[in-house]
Structure 1
C-alpha cells in the first residue's frame, strides 16, 4: 500500500465522498505532517486559479491507475458492507479466520481510523490554518459538511474518537465521548448551514468557478445545504435509542422549512462522480477486477422473496456451472477454508447481466432522496414535527423514489401484502441453510404497532440504500432491522454474540502503541471492553 497526499479541498472532498482513500501511515503523523502540503502551496492555489485547478485535478485519489482500492476494501468493504447484510467475500482470507467470521484482524481494524485522520481531518485543518474559513465561508461550509459526513462514519465504527483536539499538535490526543462528538457535529452543521443560507441569499461571489471543483452538485450550494440538513436528520435518528430528546430536537430542526429543506428528488442524491483516466469506483473494482466480493445472502433473500424489480439492477445471476443461473448470495461467515473458486460464481454486483447499473465509472452513492423519505417516515411514526406528510405516504414515496432512481417500474410492489423474504439455501453446503429471517411484508398497515411499522420502514430503507454498507450497518445496530442472517462461523472466542451480531470495530493497535493512555481512557467510556461485541454510546438505551 502506498501513501498519497491531498493537496486541495476537492481532493479531500472526493476521498471522503468515495468513503475510500488511499492507504495511509500512522495517525500521529497527522499532528506533524498535515497532508504534506506547505502553507505556500495552499495559498498559491487561491492566488492562482489555474494552479488550483491543476493541483485539484492531479490530487484526486484514483483506485485503478496510480493506486488501488485496497484501502476501501479494509476500511469498509470487508467490514461494514458485509455486516450490513449486503455483501460477503468468497475469498477465505487467512483461512477463513478474519473479520467476516468475527476473528478480528488487527491489520483490518485500523483503516477507517487512518482514513478519517490522515485524509479528512488533516485536510480540513490545513484549510482552516490557511484562512479558508474566513476568506470563503461558503467553501468552508462545504468542508465542514464533508468533515461531519466522514467523521460520523469513524465514530459510528469505534465509538469515542479524538475530535475536539485532533490536529492540536499534542503527542497524547484525548478522545471525546461519542455524545460530545455528536454534539460538535450538530454545532458544525449549524455553522455550515448558516453560512450557506447567507451565501445563497446574498450577493457574495467567489473569485473562481466553484463548479469546477464540485464532483457532486456541480456548484449548486442549495443542494449542499439540502444535503447538510438531510445529514443532520440522519445523525439525529442515530440517537433515538440513547438520547431521544436530542434526536427529536435535531430532526425537527433539519426538517424545518426555514432551514432550507432536505433532499427530495434523485437530482439531489449525494453521489460523487468518477471521471477521468485512471479513476474508478472502488466497490466495482473489487467485485470485477479482484472478484473479492459477492452479494450477501440476507439482501438476496429479501429481494427474491419480494420479487423486487430492482434485483436485476443490483445483482447479476450466478455463474457457477454446478447450479443454474439464479440470484444467489453468500451467507456471512460461511467461508471457513478452501479456495475462492468455491464461491466466486455466486451473484455479484450487476456489471454484466441484462441492464447493468454498475461500472468502473459509476458515481459512488453516499445518501439518496429515498433514504430521506424513510427518515421522514420514521419521524412521522414518532409524531415529530415537520415530517411534512403521513408515515404511509412518506414510506411509499421512499419506495417510489428508489424505483425511479434505479429506473424500474414499481408496479404493484407497494400494495403487496403477501410476499415475504425467502429462506436461504446454499447450493454447495446445506450447513449454511437458514429459515427466512423475517415474515415482514411490504404493504403499509397503519393499524400495526410501532415495531411492525419500524421494521417495514427500515427494511425498505435498507433495500433502497444499497450498496452503501456503512449507514446500513449503523441502521441495523440502532434498530435491529432488517433482521439479518447471523454469522455461520463465529470465531470471536465468545466476545461477540452470534445473534446480537457485531457492534463495532476494536481500536487500532497503533493507538495502543502510540497513544496508550488516551485510548485506555476511551475504553473506559465504552465500559472497559474494546472488542466487536461492545456497544457504542448510541447503541445503548438509558
Structure 2
C-alpha cells in the first residue's frame, strides 16, 4: 500500500530474477520456506489486531469518560493521536490477513480463510465506526495512494464478506487449536461470532437504513442463527502474565507502573457508588483511604478527575485511584468505603478492612507482584449481544423481551467480572449479589417510561463496556446515551470521528491538497450511520 518503487530499481529486480532462473539456488533453505505458514501467520494477525485496537480503545475510553485522562478527555485530538493504530492496521494486520486469505484459498485451507475474513470484517467495521471513510478497495496491493472508500459502501461489502466466511466454513474447517488465539479452532464459536458481528452491524445502521437493520436482525432471530449466547463463547482477547516478552494487559502495564496511566473517571465512580453497584470494587483500586479530589486529604480514596480537567498533575502517583482487577488484571479493592450505609446492599463493607493489605490501601506496582496483568479485551461478548437485542426490541419491534434481555446482559457481564477476579487473586461476586442487583435493575427498567427504559439500558451498557471504549463511543453517537458529565475545560466540540494519521494525509497524493479540510471535518462530521 505504501511502497513506491523506482522504475530503475524495478528493472534491476526483474533482470536479476530472470538471470538467476537458469541456475540452482544454492541459498534455498528448506527449513525456512518462502511461502507463509498459515498456522503461524493467523495468530500473528490476532495479536496485532488486539494490540493496535488498544490505540483506538484508549481514545474511546477517554471520550466516553471511562477514563479522565488523555487528550480526548477534553475532546482534543491531533494528527498523531491515532497514527500508531492506523499505521499498524494498514502495514501489519490487514496485509497479513490478506495473505492468509490469498494463500489459504490457494491451499483450500478454508478454516484459515474464513477466520481471516471474519477478522477483516470486524476490523474494517471498527475502522469505519471511528474514522468514517477509509481505504478499503485499494488498501491491499501496490496502491501507493489509496483512495478513501465511503463508510456505507464498506459496510455493505463487509456483510457480504461475513457471508463468504460462513460459506467457506461449510466447505471444510480444520484449524490447529494453537493457531487460533480467540477460539482454538472451534468452528461453532466462529459461526456465533460471525452472526453476532452481523447483529452488531445491523443495529449500528438502524438509523441510516432502518429497513435493512430491522429485516437483518429479525432474520437472524427467526432463523435460529447461532449467536454468542454464553460467556464461554465471547470474542475476547485474553492477556497473560508473561513479562518478557510482555503478554500483560496494556492498561495493567501502564497503570501499575511507577508513573501510572492516568486518572479514573469520577462520573463512572459516582455512578457505580450511587447505584449500589458491586462492580466499583472491581473497576477501581484505591491506594489511600483518605485522599480526595485534587490530592486533598478529605476523601475516602476515590481520587480521580472530573471529565475535561486539564490541570497539571501534582506528585500523586502514590495516592490517585487506579484501574482495578477488571478488565486489566490489577487489584481487587477490599478496603472499607466509609460513606456506605445500611441502605447499601450490593456494594457494602462485608469483609472489608480499614488497614493496608495485599488488596487494600497499598501502593501497588507490577514490579512488586501486585496484580497479574492477565486481563481481557472484550470485543463481542454474550453481554453485548444481549444488550443489542434489548435495544432492538425497544427500537425495532423484534418481539423479544427487552427487560429479560437487559437482565441477562447485566448478569453475563457481572459473571465475567467475577470470573476474571477469581482467576486473578481477587474475590468473586457472590451469586446472591449478582441475582439481587440484576433483579433491582430489571424492576427499575419495567417501571420506567419508554424514554427511561432506553436511558437505563444504555447506561447499564456503558458501565458494562468498561474495557471497550470504542463500542461505548459508537453507542453514544447512535443514541446520545448515557448522559455524560459536563467537561471542566473542553478544548473542542465532541469528536464525531477520530482524526486520520497525519502521515497518511501528508503522503497520500489523493488527500494532500485538501488535508486540512479533511482532517477538521473528522471532528464535526458524523459517520454514515450516525443520523
Give me the TM-score of the superposition, normalised by structure 2. 0.75
**Aligned pair partner of 2:62 in 79, 82, 88:** 82
* 2:382 maps to 1:416: no
1:225 to 191, 194, 199: 191
What is the 5 A alignment of 1:83-482? 83-89=63-69, 98-132=71-105, 135-196=108-169, 198=170, 204=172, 206=174, 210-259=176-225, 261-275=226-240, 277-278=244-245, 279-289=247-257, 290-319=259-288, 321=291, 322-339=297-314, 341=316, 345-350=320-325, 351-354=330-333, 359-385=372-398, 389-407=400-418, 408=429, 409-416=433-440, 443-445=444-446, 448-449=449-450, 451-482=451-482
Query: What do residues 426-454 of structure 1 show as CA deviations (whole Å, max 9, x unaligned)?
Result: xxxxxxxxxxxxxxx971126622x3222
Match of 1:19 in 2: none
State the distance in 2 between where 1:111 and 1:42 align. Answer: 28
Q: Kindly indicate whether the alpha-carbon contact (under 8 Å) linking 2:100 and 2:112 is maintained by their aligned counterparts in 1.
A: no
Q: Is the 8 A contact 2:383 2:409 kept in 1?
A: yes
- Aligned equivalents of 2:233, 2:5: Cα separation in 1: 36
Contact 2:324–2:332, Cα closer than 8 Å, also in 1: no
Residues 329 and 247 from structure 1, CA distance in 2 versus in 1: closer, same or farther, beyond 3 angstroms? farther
Q: Do the aligned partners of 1:161 and 1:178 also contact (CA within 8 Å) in 2?
A: yes
Q: Specify the alignment match of 2:505 in structure 1.
A: 512
Structure 2 unaligned blocks of 5 or more: 7-28, 292-296, 335-358, 360-369, 419-428
1:411 CA drift (Å): 4.3
Q: Is the 8 A contact 1:30 1:167 kept in 2?
A: no
Alpha-carbon distance, 1:82 to partner: 0.9
Count of residue pairs the alignment pairs up: 446
Q: Is the 8 A contact 2:122 2:197 kept in 1?
A: yes
TM-score, normalised to structure 1's length? 0.74
Alpha-carbon contact 1:233-1:255 (below 8 Å) kept: no
What is the CA deviation profile of residues 132-191 of structure 1, one whole-angstrom value per residue up to 9, with x for unaligned ones? 476111221111111122222221111101112211312221111111011111111111
Compared CA separation, residues 135 and 262, structure 1 to 2 (3 A): same
Q: Deviations over 1:367-390 (max 9, x none)?
A: 2211111111112123444x6x31
* Kept in 2: contact 1:377–1:392 (CA 8 A): yes
Q: 2:367 matched to which residue of 1?
A: none
CA contact (8 A) 1:99 1:105 kept: no
1:14 counterpart residue number: none
Using a 3 Å threshold, how does the CA distance of structure 1 residues 88 and 410 change in structure 2: closer, same or farther? same
Q: Secondary structure at the match of 2:276?
A: coil
In 1, the alpha carbon distance for the partners of 2:458 and 2:187 equals 30
Aligned equivalents of 1:447 and 1:218: distance in 2? 43
Looking at structure 2, the residues matched to 269 and 153 of structure 1 have their Cα atoms a distance apart, in angstroms, of: 17
Aligned residue runs from structure 1 range 27-66, under 5 A:
28-29=2-3, 41=33, 43=35, 45=37, 52=39
Report the CA distance between 1:344 and its aligned residue.
6.0
Is the contact between residue 465 and residue 472 of structure 2 (CA under 8 Å) also seen in structure 1? yes
CA 141–522 in structure 1, closer or farther in 2 if over 3 Å, else same: farther
Decide which structure has the larger Cα Rg and report it: 2
> Is the 2:287–2:318 Cα contact (8 Å) retained in structure 1?
no
Task: Mark the CA change 1:457 to 1:249 in structure 2 (over 3 Å): closer, same or farther.
Answer: same
Greater alpha carbon shift after TM alignment, 161-170 vs 327-336: 327-336
Contact between 1:100 and 1:333, CA under 8 Å: does it hold in 2? Answer: yes
